[in-house]
């Protein structure tokens, strides 16, 4: 007989088709033959390609058919129709298709996993390379670049110098002539003072200029308010101070580090005579702050007081004085008056060194006058004790100051 599915010739007692695996149990030989006779021409007319495709699954179908026959064996087997056989074949074919798809998916999934692991490994390696090699190099290059950029700027700043120019200024003050003898009379007095002009925007010059000018303005305002008629002391002497009639602030020394002034102030109560005070102030041109004579000359207060006493003593003995002044206390004394320039001392600086102007009555009577004596020298100690004439730096003098020093 012939297989009703594939048309292959099979034995009459075959339980399943040896070619396609179709179960044949329950089919009579006549039926199989009849159906096979109709299928034979079909099998012969089918293309060899179809036969080859079907034969590829023959062994698997045979195994499945055999298993189905053995597991479903019954005492009275029921006939299997062509419809039932076709259903088994369709299920088998679907099963095989899914297996083939699964076989294709498994390698693809494995490839994806491997690619992901490889990409993760490459990313981690790249991160570690950047973290341990590239980033430190970039940081080092950045630091080197900043240093290279900063070095020229620093060199430029070091080479840059601020030029200070001395400018002479004045205040016009209305001072009473003599409220008792010349009532109602006043005279305009020109008070001179220095100011610094900077070649660049500079806080140091502003600081020094303000320190000099503000006390003079306070003093000038008090003199402008002083009465020119003989009245009460409160009106004659505003704020309990004799009014200042004249004031002259000059520059006695100036270099690339220091700006030194001499402040001479004359005040009066219109008695037999007035009082003259001379003080000095040393300004640091790098900071604008005041500096003590001790710091500028590198000498402590006791040694400086001793030098002053030794320098002034010959003048005192010449005038018949037996005891020198207490120069130690004089050096420690601070001028707290609002018209005094902050940092004023009893010494001022000249090109020769430190100079002390003796106070009124120090050498004897008022008529004995005053002396300006060198008490500390820059380099020639032999001149200490000699009388000197105050230096005065001329208007327009310039000095260059290196701000990096």
Q: Which domain holds residue 154?
A: 102-159
d(CA 205, CA 285): 8
171 shares a domain with 136: no
46 shares a domain with 151: no
282 shares a domain with 272: yes
Q: Average the pLDDT over 335-349 and give the result.
A: 89
**Per-residue exposure over 116-130, b if at least 16 CB sit within 10 Å of its own CB, e if not:** eeeeeeeeeeeeeee
Task: Please tell me the predicted confidence (pLDDT) of residue 96.
Answer: 67
What share of the chain has pLDDT > 70, as a percent?
A: 75
**Domain end marker among 112, 130, 159:** 159
Q: Average the pLDDT over 308-331 and give the result.
A: 81
In a domain, 37, yes or no: yes
In a domain, 97, yes or no: no
Identify whether the C-beta of residue 390 lies closer than 8 Å to the C-beta of residue 372. yes
205 shares a domain with 155: no
In a domain, 366, yes or no: yes
Query: In terms of pLDDT, which residue wins out, 205 or 333?
Result: 205
153 shares a domain with 176: no
Task: Please tell me the predicted confidence (pLDDT) of residue 206.
Answer: 95
Given a cut of 70, whether residue 300 has pLDDT beyond it is: yes
CA 174 to chain centre: 53
C-alpha closest to that of 173 among 113, 249, 94, 246: 246
202 shares a domain with 262: yes
113 shares a domain with 43: no
121 shares a domain with 55: no
In a domain, 267, yes or no: yes
Segment (H or E) for 59: helix 58-71
The structure's pTM equals 0.60
Task: Please tell me the predicted confidence (pLDDT) of residue 76.
Answer: 46
Query: In terms of pLDDT, which residue wins out, 296 or 127?
Result: 296
The partner residues of 192 in beta bridges, in order of sequence, read: 170, 248
- The pLDDT tens digits of the residues spanning 61-70 come to 544 444 444 4
Is residue 6 very low, low, confident or very high in pLDDT (cuts 50, 70, 90)? confident
C-alpha closest to that of 349 among 292, 285, 280: 280
In a domain, 252, yes or no: yes
71 shares a domain with 115: no
Is residue 32 very low, low, confident or very high in pLDDT (cuts 50, 70, 90)? very low
Given a cut of 50, whether residue 295 has pLDDT beyond it is: yes
C-alpha closest to that of 55 among 3, 6, 4: 6
Given a cut of 50, whether residue 204 has pLDDT beyond it is: yes
Overall domain count for the chain: 3
In a domain, 88, yes or no: no
- The pLDDT tens digits of the residues spanning 139-152 come to 888 887 777 776 65
Report the chain's terminal Cα–Cα distance, integer Å. 122
133 shares a domain with 172: no
Number of Cβ atoms within 10 Å of the Cβ of 55 = 14
Task: Please tell me the predicted confidence (pLDDT) of residue 64.
Answer: 42
Is residue 210 very low, low, confident or very high in pLDDT (cuts 50, 70, 90)? very high
d(CA 244, CA 237): 10
Is residue 155 very low, low, confident or very high in pLDDT (cuts 50, 70, 90)? low
132 shares a domain with 73: no
**Per-residue exposure over 56-73, b if at least 16 CB sit within 10 Å of its own CB, e if not:** ebbeebbebbeeebeeee
Is residue 391 very low, low, confident or very high in pLDDT (cuts 50, 70, 90)? confident
In a domain, 93, yes or no: no
CATH of the domain at 334: 3.30.565.40
Task: Please tell me the predicted confidence (pLDDT) of residue 98.
Answer: 62
**Domain end marker among 127, 159, 191:** 159
- The pLDDT tens digits of the residues spanning 166-190 come to 999 999 999 999 888 888 899 999 9
Is residue 156 very low, low, confident or very high in pLDDT (cuts 50, 70, 90)? low
Identify whether the C-beta of residue 169 lies closer than 8 Å to the C-beta of residue 146. no
d(CA 117, CA 107): 15
Is residue 102 very low, low, confident or very high in pLDDT (cuts 50, 70, 90)? low
In a domain, 89, yes or no: no
343 shares a domain with 263: yes
């Amino acid at each position: 007989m012939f297989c009703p599915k594939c048309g292959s010739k099979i034995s009459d007692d075959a339980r399943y088709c040896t070619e396609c695996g179709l179960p044949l149990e329950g089919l009579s030989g006549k039926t199989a033959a009849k159906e096979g006779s109709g299928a034979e021409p079909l099998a012969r007319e089918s293309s060899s390609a179809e036969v080859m495709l079907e034969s590829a699954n023959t062994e698997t179908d045979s195994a499945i058919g055999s298993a189905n026959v053995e597991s479903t064996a019954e005492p009275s087997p029921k006939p299997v129709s062509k419809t039932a056989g076709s259903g088994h074949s369709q299920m088998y074919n679907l099963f095989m298709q899914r297996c083939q798809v699964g076989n294709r998916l498994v390698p693809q999934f494995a490839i994806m996993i491997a690619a992901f692991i490889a990409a993760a490994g490459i990313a981690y390696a790249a991160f570690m390379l950047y973290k341990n090699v590239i980033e430190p190099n970039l940081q080092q290059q950045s630091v080197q670049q900043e240093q290279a950029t900063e070095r020229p700027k620093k060199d430029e700043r070091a080479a840059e110098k601020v030029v200070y120019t001395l400018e002479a200024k004045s205040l016009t003050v209305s001072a009473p002539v003599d409220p008792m003898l010349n009532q109602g009379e006043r005279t305009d007095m020109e008070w001179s003072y220095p100011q610094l002009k900077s070649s660049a925007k500079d806080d140091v010059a502003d600081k020094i200029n303000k320190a000099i000018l503000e006390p003079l303005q306070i003093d000038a305002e008090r003199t402008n308010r002083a009465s020119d008629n003989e009245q009460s002391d409160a009106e004659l002497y505003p704020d309990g101070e004799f009014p200042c009639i004249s004031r002259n602030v000059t520059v006695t020394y100036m270099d690339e580090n220091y700006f030194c002034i001499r402040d001479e102030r004359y005040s009066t109560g219109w008695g037999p005579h007035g009082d003259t005070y001379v003080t000095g102030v040393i300004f640091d041109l790098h900071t604008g702050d005041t500096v003590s004579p001790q710091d500028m000359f590198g000498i402590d207060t006791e040694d400086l007081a001793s030098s002053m006493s030794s320098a002034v003593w010959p003048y005192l003995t010449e005038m018949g004085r037996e005891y020198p002044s207490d120069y130690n206390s004089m050096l420690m004394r601070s001028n707290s008056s609002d018209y005094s320039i902050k940092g004023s001392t009893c010494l001022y600086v000249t090109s020769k060194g430190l100079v002390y102007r003796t106070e009124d009555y120090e050498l004897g009577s008022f008529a004995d006058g005053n002396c300006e004596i060198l008490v500390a020298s820059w380099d020639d100690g032999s001149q200490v004790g000699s009388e000197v004439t105050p230096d005065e730096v001329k208007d327009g003098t310039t000095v260059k100051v290196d701000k990096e020093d």
